[in-house]
Structure 1
Amino acid sequence: MKVVLVPMRVEDGNFNANWEEFQRRFNEALSHEPDFVVFPEYSLTGFVEWDFSGAELYGGIVERVSELARKAGVYVVFGLLEPYKRCVYNSALLVGRNGEVLLKHRKFQEPMGFCTGNTVKTARTEFGRVAIIICGDLYNKRVLKWIKRKRPDYVFVPMEYSPDHGEPNGEDVEVMAGRVGLLSAGTFVVNSYPPGGAWVFDGDGRLLAETSGEELLVWEDRG
């Protein structure tokens, strides 16, 4: 299984610029012949507290990304705002090789303004079962219980680690590794740029690979 993590440059509220960047980085990732291409949280709209206008783009975003996945024959994981009834969720999707949405995760760990998720699901692939959680969900006890119950083989974690906090440092990654070790699953984390960065951990929380800034992280698990 080959995974390409894309620490994508995201402009808050600028869908057209983000879409051009998404396509450019997607094509860059395809040059590595991946099975999975993974983008960050809010990857096509960004998010400024509390502007939910990007949720209006949900259907069009899903359609466009599904078409990219179908034409390339790859899995795509990415984050976006999802409107549902009177709610807006911070969500992430797994789109399959045929363009079908295989999995949706609604973030648990959110402050007021969003509705929050209450379950973790998995999807079957030819590489095993996969789950998605989002950013702060990695530190949420309820999410940990769901992951232990569902027992995925791999977990994808789109993030938006705020640039106000600076670049993730060694202590941040060590804490991240400790949480990943509790999941007991191979885990792929990708952050939006700035500050960017991407990380791959094994099921024991050992850091296997990392990149900083906008650099792609290409990881092949030969199982």
Structure 2
Amino acid sequence: MRVALIPMKVEAGNFEANWREFEKRFGEALKHDPDFVVFPEYCLTGFEEWDFSGAELYGEIVEWVSRLARKAGVYVVFGLLEPYKNCVYNSALLIGRNGEILLKHRKFQEPYKFCTGNTVRTARTEFGKAAIIICGDLYNKRIAKWVRKKRPDFIFIPMEYSPDYGEPNEEDVKAMSERAELLGVRTFIVNSYPPGGAWVFDGDGNLLAESRGDKMLVWEEKRD
């Protein structure tokens, strides 16, 4: 099982630039023959309070990313804004090797102007059960209970985290580690750039690998 985590540069409100960057980084990842290519939270539109216009591109984005996944024969995880009736979800999808949507997660931990999710689901792959949560969900106690109940084999966490002091520091990574331990499952985290960064933790919260800035992190796990 080989996972490519891509801390992609994201420009809020600039779909064309983001799509070019997405395709470029996706192509770079394919050189490593990955099974999963993982991008950050709402990586193709970005988000600025309270501009939900990126949600209008939901169908187009799903179609385009599905086409890439199908052509390359890989799984793709990424975040996007999802319109629903009179509001918007902050969502993330797992697209299968054939381009189908295997899994959708709607973020719990969001301000009132978003619709919010209320469950964690899993999807089966040849490597085991996968789950997704998004950014602040990592620090939500209800989410941790759902994850333990669903017992995935691994979980992906797209993020858009920009601390006021610059790049995530040791305390931020320690906090991620503690939450990964609480989830009790292999955890793959990728943040948008800037400030970027990607991390892999085991189910005991041990940091297995990390990258800084916009550097791609490729993790290979051998399973019996």
User: Normalized against structure 1, the TM-score is what?
Assistant: 0.99
Contact 1:56/1:83 (<8 A) preserved: yes
SS at structure 1 position matched to 2:81: strand
**1:167 corresponds to:** 167
Query: 1:165 offset after TM fit, Å?
Result: 4.2
What is aligned with 2:87?
87
Q: Distance in 2 between matches of 1:102 and 1:165?
A: 37
What do the CA deviations read for 1:17-75 (whole angstroms, capped 9, x no partner)? 00000000000000000000000001000000110000000000000000000000000
Uncovered stretches (5+) of structure 1, i.e. residues with no partner: none
Residue aligning to 2:30: 30
TM superposition shift of 1:178: 0.3
* 1:18 is the counterpart of 2:38: no
Name the residue aligned to 1:152.
152
Secondary structure (helix, strand or coil) at the match of 2:51 reads: coil
Q: How does 1:92-131 map to 2 (within 5 A)?
A: 92-131=92-131
In the alignment, the residues of structure 1 paired with residue 201 and residue 68 of structure 2 have an alpha-carbon distance, to the nearest angstrom, of 27
Q: Which residue number corresponds to residue 53 of structure 2?
A: 53
Q: Partners of 2:15 and 2:163 in 1: how far apart?
A: 20
Question: Could you tell me whether the CA contact under 8 Å between 1:7 and 1:40 is conserved in 2?
Answer: yes
Amino acid at match of 2:210: E
Partner of 1:181: 181
Q: Which piece of structure 1 moves more, 111-120 or 123-132? A: 111-120
Name the amino acid aligned to 2:34: P
Q: Is 1:3 paired with 2:3?
A: yes
Amino acid at match of 1:79: G
> Residues of 2 paired with 1:7 and 1:78: CA distance?
11
Cα root mean square deviation, aligned: 0.7
1:44 aligns with 2:44: yes
Asked if 2 retains the 8 angstrom alpha-carbon contact of 1:3 and 1:38, the reply is: yes
Verify the 8 A CA contact 1:78 1:158 in the aligned structure 2.
yes
Give the aligned partner of residue 213 of structure 1.
213
> With structure 2 as the length reference, what TM-score do the two structures score?
0.98
- Which ranges in structure 2 are unaligned for 5 or more consecutive residues? none
Q: Tell me by how many angstroms 1:164 deviates.
A: 3.4
The runs of at least 4 aligned residues of structure 1 exceeding 4 Å deviation read: none
State percent identity of aligned pairs.
76
- SS of alignment partner, residue 65 of structure 1: helix
